[in-house]
Amino acid sequence: MSDFYYEESSSLTQRFLNTSSSSIEDEQQDYTTEQQQHDQQQQHYTEHEQIILSWTARIAGIISFISGLYILCLAYKRRDHVYHRLMLGLSIHILLWSPWHVIGPLAVPRGTPETWGAYGTTQTCTAQGFFFQLAMCIPLYYVFLSCYSWVVIVYGNFNPKKYQWIEKYIHIIVHIYPIASSIYLLCIEAFNSTGLGQCWISSIPFGCGDYDHHSDYDDHDDDSPIVVVCERGPQDITKKLVYFAGIPAIFYLLFPTIMMGSLCIVVWNKHKQLKKQTQKQKTKQKQKPQLQLKQSLVYVGVLYWIFIPHIIVSFMSVIGNRKHFGMNLFSCIVTDCLGLWIAIMYWYFSTDTDIASSIVISFKNMKHKCTPHQHHFNNNSNKTTTVTTVNSCAHCGDEENNNQEHGNEDEEISKPFSIKSSNSRDNSGKNKYQQHNTRMKPRFSFNIFDGTAPANGRLSEFVFDGDDEDEINDEKESEYWSGCQNG
């Protein structure tokens, strides 16, 4: 009897355990299925998301094209300086690169899965990828501006004859790697649809490659990874992305950071030397290292702002095998508007005046010039005549010239009569204020990309030691020979 109860209880326990294990397996299968569905959603964009990304890239391409035209026009007018000629070359590549963003998925071959608006061919896709790779000239031009600034300040001493030699080397170097890499990738058919509505370094079908068939894995072993052979493009696509996209992106960020950091140290040491040599210019030179540091941060910060979002998206897509719509949209807005950020940087360093302050000053001058003034005319008979005049805003330039003539009345005392203001001290102070403020305020007293340092100019204090002695020796030699000729 006890054996019967024992067998019955054992069978019930076994049934319970089997039911529990089966339910656990079902839950695990459901969880696995949900996880796979979630992963598939992470790896693909909906049609609505593809449309948003496509038109965002097109708008960004239009903005970059307009910005490239702005840089081209401004740099062409100032092409007599090395810095502006370098920016002129950069703007040409922006104009070659940005239209392909406007074309967008239209260049992707028709029938490409999960690509909205694909109406192109293999040839149009290859052309788009080729120009995208060639556009590496844009960041390289920007990066090598740090070399230009270093040569101007450290080796050239702001003397154009001493730093102009670097221009031709920059123009050559920035084109070597982009052209060579573009031709190589073209030969191995590496320009294909990336699945992001454009063509660049990729292989098709999506997810193919990246397995070394010469490894120790057995092709017939169940534990060996399943590899899809690429129909077009390199089999080792990850390595190609690292070599032709990842390493250059790291170079874009590290190289100018190191160069500008070293330049800050050089300028700071120069500042300390000048501070020891002269105390009169102490207040003038107080802000030079801070200005150089600020401008370096602006210059390098533009690169980090442009490339960090793109690096994050690429890392998530290649390494994490997932696509985040929000992050990709942000990267599309920032990175594809590359021309805009470079144009803002160019305007920042190329504009010699502070526009905001100049507008306020012009308004104050206009208000001051349109107020009535009283002048007293004194003749030789000691009679005084008072005349009230109202300055017309249309003749502000004439009045300014008259004020300057009034300031030189001591030199014209032999004239029949002279003009004096009712309150000479007040008016002379106003005239000095007016003459000083009618000129635009300089944006910088020190510019890392200026490249010029005229005598008594804003950069002359940073001309390295030895230049002043050479000028003094030249003057003495000129005086000596002029004395010999007069004798």
Q: In which band, very low, low, confident or very high, does the pLDDT at 61 lie, cut at 50, 70 and 90? A: very high
pLDDT at residue 484 greater than cutoff 70: no
Q: In which band, very low, low, confident or very high, does the pLDDT at 471 lie, cut at 50, 70 and 90? A: low
Q: What percent of the chain has pLDDT over 70?
A: 57
What pLDDT does 185 receive? 96
Q: In which band, very low, low, confident or very high, does the pLDDT at 121 lie, cut at 50, 70 and 90? A: very high
What are the Cα distances from residue 205, in Å, to 112, 179, 230, 377? 10, 27, 6, 93
Q: In which band, very low, low, confident or very high, does the pLDDT at 395 lie, cut at 50, 70 and 90? A: very low
pLDDT digits (tens, 9 = 90+) for 263-275: 999 888 888 887 7
What pLDDT does 88 receive? 96
What pLDDT does 129 receive? 96
301 or 37: which leads in pLDDT: 301
pLDDT at residue 372 greater than cutoff 60: no
Q: What distance in Å separates the CA atoms of residue 197 and residue 56, rounded to the nearest whole number?
A: 11
What pLDDT does 52 receive? 93
What pLDDT does 299 receive? 95
Q: In which band, very low, low, confident or very high, does the pLDDT at 116 lie, cut at 50, 70 and 90? A: confident
What pLDDT does 207 receive? 77
364 or 114: which leads in pLDDT: 114
What pLDDT does 252 receive? 95
What pLDDT does 407 receive? 44
pLDDT at residue 245 greater than cutoff 70: yes
392 or 326: which leads in pLDDT: 326
What pLDDT does 361 receive? 54
pLDDT at residue 137 greater than cutoff 50: yes
Residues in the chain: 487
CATH 1.20.1070.10, domain 45-352, yes or no = yes
Average pLDDT, the chain: 73
Mean pLDDT within 248-277: 89
Q: Which range, of 21-25, 170-174, 481-485, averages the lowest pLDDT?
A: 481-485
pLDDT at residue 257 greater than cutoff 50: yes
What pLDDT does 233 receive? 92
366 or 457: which leads in pLDDT: 366
**Per-residue buried b or exposed e for 331-369, using 16+ beta carbons within 10 Å of the residue's own CB:** bbebbbbbbbbbbebbeebbeeeeeeebeebeeebeeeb
Task: Extract the tokens encoding 222.
Answer: 């169940």
What pLDDT does 310 receive? 86
What pLDDT does 212 receive? 54
Q: Sketch the domain layout of the chain as residue ranges.
A: 45-352, 357-437
pLDDT digits (tens, 9 = 90+) for 96-114: 999 999 999 999 999 888 7
What pLDDT does 391 receive? 44
pLDDT digits (tens, 9 = 90+) for 416-457: 444 444 444 445 444 544 444 444 444 555 678 865 543 333
Provide φ and ψ at 389, rounded to 5°: -125, 150
Q: In which band, very low, low, confident or very high, does the pLDDT at 181 lie, cut at 50, 70 and 90? A: very high
pLDDT at residue 379 greater than cutoff 90: no
What pLDDT does 23 receive? 56
What pLDDT does 366 receive? 58
CA pseudo-torsion sign 111, 113, 117, 121:
negative
Q: What percent of the chain has pLDDT over 90?
A: 37
Q: Which range, of 62-71, 193-202, 297-306, 431-440, averages the lowest pLDDT?
A: 431-440
pLDDT at residue 190 greater than cutoff 90: yes
Sequence-distant contacts of 189-194: CB under 8 A, at least 24 apart: 189/126, 189/232, 189/233, 190/129, 190/233, 190/234, 190/237, 190/240, 191/125, 191/126, 191/128, 191/129, 191/130, 191/133, 192/125, 192/129, 192/232, 192/233, 193/108, 193/109, 193/112, 193/115, 193/118, 193/125
What pLDDT does 384 receive? 46
pLDDT digits (tens, 9 = 90+) for 155-176: 877 788 888 999 999 999 999 9
CA pseudo-torsion sign 313, 316, 319, 322:
negative
285 or 314: which leads in pLDDT: 314
What pLDDT does 260 receive? 94
376 or 259: which leads in pLDDT: 259
